[in-house]
């Protein structure tokens, strides 16, 4: 019998242990998922984004073969949920329904921020867009963006606009309209779409920017008047309403959007499995119809496309925040 020197014996023992660990890790990855997955939704239950999260959770669960359980964690403009997911183990069992607020607005206005929009997450893919709409009180003598600009220039201290919060996507959208048109309006932030649009109907503000989901029922009921949509193209839900770009400001476009994220460092095999499942789920005719019914627009893109979008939009939003002095302590 040949005996190995102690040093060589220990080296071989360590190599075998390492090989066993790697094999076990590979086996765990190939078997993913082996237990329920948590999908953190950074919005309160009941809204359109919560409904989106639950639709995704159901279909992803069916595709992956394990339940995907929604956990609502609203607060601080998605910061609470994003920080929670950024610190979670990168094993694929904690996912985040992130938003443009998470990845391009918060980094522009919040300092310090408990996560980095690119380094803290594994970007899995785009899900949907939500369009924003500029709306007016019915008594305002302006039916187009052109006439609104003329009214502002004639009475520069008259107009105020409402949003559903400082640093929100609609706040950014309104400030971009102000810059593009030269219009003068005072910002009045509210805590949500309901008080924002209630104030508009009551005449406390003359105009507002809000989501198509929140404004559409009031527009159809004739309680508020649409002026322009902030997206690049007209909306199927409001085909008669022109875009800001069509109204004389070419190239104007801003909206809010949603994406699927995981903590940074997820194993490539797990990442690829979730990305593939997301692509298959979001691109079905059934999901596309559900998105339209919810007031959203299908906007699938893979993880690389999501990264490109963030890298392009983040400096733009930082410029808007600096110009309008948008800050959140």
Q: Assign 317 a pLDDT band (cuts: 50, 70, 90).
A: very high
pLDDT at 2 over 60: no
Instruction: Tell me the domains of the chain and their CATH numbers.
Output: 36-130+255-324 (3.40.190.150), 132-229 (3.40.190.10)
State the pTM of this model.
0.85
pLDDT at 329 over 90: no
pLDDT at 8 (0 to 100) = 57
What average pLDDT does range 9-22 have in this prediction? 51
Please state, in angstroms and rounded to a whole number, the distance separating the CA atoms of residues 289 and 298: 9
pLDDT at 14 over 60: no
pLDDT at 29 (0 to 100) = 54
Q: Please enumerate in sequence order all residues whose Cβ is within 8 A of that of 108, keeping only pairs 6 or more positions apart, or say none.
A: 314, 317, 318, 320, 321, 326
pLDDT at 49 over 80: yes
pLDDT at 15 (0 to 100) = 52
Higher pLDDT, 75 or 11: 75
Per the listing, tokens 């022109």 go with: 242
Annotate 119-145 with b (16+ C-beta within 10 A) or e (fewer).
ebbbbbbbbbbbbbbbbbbeebebeeb
Q: At what angle do helices 268-282 and 6-30 cross, to 10 degrees?
A: 10
CA 113, chain centre distance (Å): 17
Tell me the per-residue pLDDT of 58-74, one tens digit each, with 9 for 90 and over.
999 999 999 999 999 99
Per the listing, tokens 């305002």 go with: 140
Q: Write out the two tokens for 292.
A: 């339209």
User: Phi, psi (5° rounding) for residue 247?
Assistant: -85, 10
Task: State how far the alpha carbon of 272 is from the alpha carbons of 40, 54, 278, 288, in Å.
Answer: 20, 22, 10, 22
pLDDT at 136 over 50: yes
Full 3-state SS string of 194-250: HHHHHHHHCCCCCEEEEEHHHHHHHHHCCCCEEEEECCCCCECCECCCCECCCCCCC
Closest CA to 210 of 270, 136, 160, 135: 135
């Amino acid at each position: 019998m040949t005996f190995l020197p102690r040093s060589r014996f220990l080296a071989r023992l360590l190599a075998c242990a390492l090989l066993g660990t790697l094999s076990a890790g590979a086996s765990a990855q190939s078997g993913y998922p082996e237990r329920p997955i948590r999908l953190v939704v950074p919005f309160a239950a009941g809204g359109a984004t919560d409904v989106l999260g639950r639709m995704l959770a159901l279909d992803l669960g069916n595709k992956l073969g394990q339940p995907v359980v929604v956990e609502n964690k609203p607060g601080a403009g998605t910061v609470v949920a994003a920080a929670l997911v950024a610190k979670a183990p990168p094993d694929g069992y904690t996912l985040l329904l992130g938003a443009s607020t998470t990845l391009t607005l918060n980094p522009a206005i919040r300092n310090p921020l408990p996560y980095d929009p690119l380094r803290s997450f594994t970007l899995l893919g785009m899900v949907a867009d939500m369009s924003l709409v500029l709306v007016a009180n019915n008594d305002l003598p302006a039916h187009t963006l052109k006439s609104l600009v003329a009214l502002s220039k004639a009475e520069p201290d008259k107009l105020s606009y409402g949003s559903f919060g400082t640093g929100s996507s609609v706040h950014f959208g309104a400030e971009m309209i102000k810059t593009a048109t030269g219009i003068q309006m005072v910002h009045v932030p509210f805590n949500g779409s309901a008080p924002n649009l209630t104030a508009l109907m009551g005449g406390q503000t003359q105009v507002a920017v809000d989501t198509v989901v929140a404004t559409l029922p009031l527009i159809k009921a004739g309680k508020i008047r649409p002026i322009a949509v902030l997206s690049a193209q007209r909306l199927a839900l409001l085909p008669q309403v022109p875009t800001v770009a069509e109204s004389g400001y070419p190239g104007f476009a801003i909206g809010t959007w949603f994406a699927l994220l995981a903590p940074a460092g997820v194993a490539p095999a797990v990442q690829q499995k979730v990305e593939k499942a997301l692509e298959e789920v979001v691109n079905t005719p059934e999901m596309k119809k559900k998105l339209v019914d919810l007031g959203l627009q299908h906007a699938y893109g893979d993880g690389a496309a999501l990264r490109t979008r963030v890298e392009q939009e983040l400096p733009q939003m930082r410029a808007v925040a600096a110009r309008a002095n948008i800050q959140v302590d």
